[in-house]
Amino acid sequence: MDMTPGASLGPYRILRPLGSGGMGAVYLAWDERLERRVALKLLTHTAGDDAVRHVRHEARAVARLTHANIAALYDTAEHNGVSFLVMEYVDGEPLSHLARSQPVSVAQALDIGIQLTDALSYAHGEGIIHRDVKPANVMLTRDGKVKVLDLGLARVTSSDPAAPTQSLSDAVVAPRAGTPAYMAPERLGGQPADARTDVYSVGVLLFELLTGTRPFLSSDFVSLAVSIATQPTPHVSGIRPDLPAALDDLIARAMAKEAATRVATAAELRDGLVSVRDELTNPRPAPIPDTAHDWWRLTLTAAAIGALALISWFVFRPVPGAVTPATIALAPIVSAMSDDPELDELGVLLGSVLSRNLAALPGVTIVVPDLAQDGSPGSKTAPTAGPSPPRAYSVTLTIRRKGSAVVAAGALIRQGESRPIWDQEFEGEALGVLRFATTNLATAFERDLALGRVLTGEQRTRLQRLPTGDAQALVSYLRGRVVLDTATNRAADDEAAAAYARAIQRDAAFAEAHAGLAQVFLLTQRHAPGESGWRDKAKEAAAKAVALDTLSDLAHVACALVARELTQKDDALVHARRAVILNPSGDDGHRVLGLALIDAGQADLGFAALRQAVSLRPGHWANAYALGIAQLRGGRTREAVDPLRRTLELRKDFQAGYVNLGVAYLRLDEWALSVGNSQRALDLEPRDAYALNNLGTAYYWDGRFTLALQSFQAAVREEPNAIRHMNLGDAYHRLGRMADAKQAYLDAVDLAEKQLAKTYSAGTAAVAAKCEAKLGRIDIAETHALAALAADKDNDEVVYKLAVVYAIAGRLGMSLDHLERAVGLGYSRALVRRDPDLQALRNDPRFKALVQQKNQ
């Protein structure tokens, strides 16, 4: 059953949806009796009344838990045939946001792990197994306190070891209830859960917190289960060498495949984490030699010393596994020809291959070099933050055309030295360039690091691995990349898809070609919105790419883009983070990571990732555009202008660039520039509803209401939605056509409610709130606005529309409070100053002070 904001369940007023759980939808609600926010979980009746009764019986067992790190279950209730649980609402963010933003510090991971295992140890002692421990079910409050959620999937066991262990909720949830990526191997095989299955899930969670990625990645259940069951359990230290050995070992034992060899209890895991924390904060002093008893050690003869030296040579000589740690600063592959897009795409692929292959060297970490403003390598050859590694190298590679051939020039330099260890040129076709770079660089590193005696056969194979061995497949792939990069219509989509299909036909195992095909399908979905199935095809192609090559950063980029399209924020972050780890110098990975971080509410980290993408490949329009759009949507309007203008310098016919630059100028009170860019966008695409709406908005705020009305009418004809009908209503209102204005507002509310019934959006709810206020329905308007604010409290548009609702309602103090907050979040002062809905505030000193300051 879906509940709309404002609806009531007994004494609980629904504010907004929070998501869905194992047994039904979850809502944020207001408890009218105790005047507090609570979370309501509605129980579905699809499994029958008996199943719901079982769950409610189980909930009573869970409700007896009282622990500071467990979200409380207050009550079970029923109203008008709807059964629900009343739970503590935790104001914070799930660990899934933290885990997917960036690897956390060891200290923070230990603090979270200790609190989490303390809570689970307590629950296990009460006979309750969680069964779905994952970052999304663990909240972190603003003061750093861990709160475990969703014990609705918990398994209640008997205190009698001989008693049956059937869960009372098994009738409601599947036998493998839980989230596959965090499930222990025995659970994936259908075996019952116990305390050790929760321990395994905690191990995976800690792995993800410390690395930013999960230990096993796959896009479907079957391949994920096979990977978990058959692949060796990875160590955190394989991605993060700075991890204390004791913690690395503890997490690996928590994720042991065999339950019998796993850390046995949550209490034991907690004690291990506490021990590591204590050792890091209060390290034991090194033992002081007892010189009174060790004098005899100084009487070693020269012969004894010689014998010890001989023994040392045998003990410490290079053996398999004994390696020299090193960093390799791999600069982006530079094309010497600015007008050769296929050469640029070859450089992108070559950088991906080199990063993946060189990372196969034992003890080697690939890093991004310091970059100059133009994206070229700077004076430093490797980063100097933290302790300097024993050896650090830099790699530079340039490519250029020479007739029909490609010339590649590469160099390998050890930090602190001026003469290259390796410096060579190659002339030939594209596939030959890939072979030249991978083979020669690997040989040079192997020689300089004396790795010849410690490389395994598998490592040697990885060092030489190419994405394809077919020259024609590579040519077709590069062509597909070029067309895809600037595709603006269905015909271009088809051309790119055909190029990728030719590559796959020649080499079905070409993972990057499947990844490219996934991106084509996503574009086709946008260019042909009336057609269905393209998202499914994109998901299938991206999954195929990762299955063929789990070490391809470009395959993970495709998976991240698909996940973003499907609004699967956690999955998008997992794959984007994996792409950056696999290829730190790849702009594609940083770009999609930045977008995924912003989607997940990690704006500052997202902007940093986008700026890194621009610095890695400054001549690529997509990086500048992604940064500009993100800044525009994040309220950093003035910052957005330069990257948007740079986008149009790099791609002069990019219609969406003109649309969004017009929006930026609109917010900056520069009406002529806004109209000019919107009109340029319409010159390129005369029926574009976004450009028509933006042009109308520029006219509206400039006081040219008749021209605004014409543009809004055209936008509604092309593609009606709630925002455009709201704007149409505002234009009618300003022209005194009240009946037409009322109808436009009613249409806007109707469209908004239909959209909210499908997918909740704070922005859409805020539009509905303003329109309800314009219609005089203030109570409904406030409910919509407060729900939108609860869903997205840092959205400047949402906060602003709540201010407008209060202004229309005559609650001027509250309107000003929210108005100041909206401007603080980035809302345009120019639009505040001109908004006729704020007429009642014009003479207030706070309002005057607010609008007299500079635009954002």
**N-term to C-term CA, the chain:** 43
Burial class of residue 817 in the structure, from the number of CB atoms within 10 Å of its CB (0-12 exposed, 13-18 middle, 19+ buried): middle
Active site annotation includes 132: yes
Strand partners, 8: 13
CB 581 within 8 A of CB 220: no
Please state, as a whole number, how many other Cβ atoms lie within 10 Å of the Cβ of residue 461: 11
pLDDT at 27 over 80: yes
Write down the pTM of the prediction.
0.66
Burial class of residue 404 in the structure, from the number of CB atoms within 10 Å of its CB (0-12 exposed, 13-18 middle, 19+ buried): exposed
Strands in 138-141's sheet, in edge-to-edge order, are 92-94, 138-141, 146-148
Question: Residue 460: what pLDDT?
Answer: 76
Q: Characterize the bridge pairing of strands 12-20 and 36-42.
A: unpaired
> What's the pLDDT tens digit per position in 605-663?
899 999 999 999 999 999 999 999 999 988 888 999 999 999 999 999 999 999 999 99
If you average pLDDT over every residue of the chain, what do you get? 83
CB 140 within 8 A of CB 92: yes
Instruction: Give me 625's structure tokens.
Output: 């555009």
Alpha-carbon gap, residue 760 to 768, rounded angstroms: 12
- Find, among 220, 177, 181, 193, the residue nearest to 23 by Cα: 177
Q: Characterize the bridge pairing of strands 36-42 and 82-88.
A: antiparallel
Average pLDDT over residues 569-583: 87
Ordered DSSP codes for 573-615: HHHHHHHHHH-TT-HHHHHHHHHHHHHTT-HHHHHHHHHHHHH
Instruction: Give me 655's structure tokens.
Output: 């219609």
Q: CB-hemisphere CA count at 13 Å for 251?
A: 29
> What's the pLDDT tens digit per position in 184-196?
888 877 788 889 9
* 762 residue type, one letter: A
Domains of the chain, start order: 8-88 (3.30.200.20), 93-150+160-281 (1.10.510.10), 326-463 (3.40.50.10070), 550-650 (1.25.40.10), 657-852 (1.25.40.10)
- Find, among 661, 690, 688, 686, the residue nearest to 673 by Cα: 661
The active-site residue out of 31, 111, 118, 132 is 132
> What's the pLDDT tens digit per position in 376-420?
444 333 333 334 445 788 888 999 999 889 999 999 998 888 889
Q: Return the SS3 of 184.
A: coil
What size, in residues, is the chain? Answer: 856
Name the pLDDT band for 55 (thresholds 50, 70, 90).
Answer: low
Strands in 73-79's sheet, in edge-to-edge order, are 8-9, 12-20, 25-31, 36-42, 82-88, 73-79
Q: Which of 35-49, 172-186, 502-516, 710-724 has the lowest mean pLDDT?
A: 172-186
Instruction: Give me 811's structure tokens.
Output: 């609650």
Question: Residue 176: what pLDDT?
Answer: 44
689-723 burial string, b = 16+ CB within 10 Å, else e? bbbbbbbbbbbbbbebbebbbbbbbbbbebeebbb
CB 127 within 8 A of CB 167: no
Q: What are phi and psi of 87, to 5 degrees?
A: -125, 160
Alpha-carbon gap, residue 696 to 707, rounded angstroms: 7
Return the higher-pLDDT residue of 644 and 73. 644
Return the higher-pLDDT residue of 559 and 230. 559
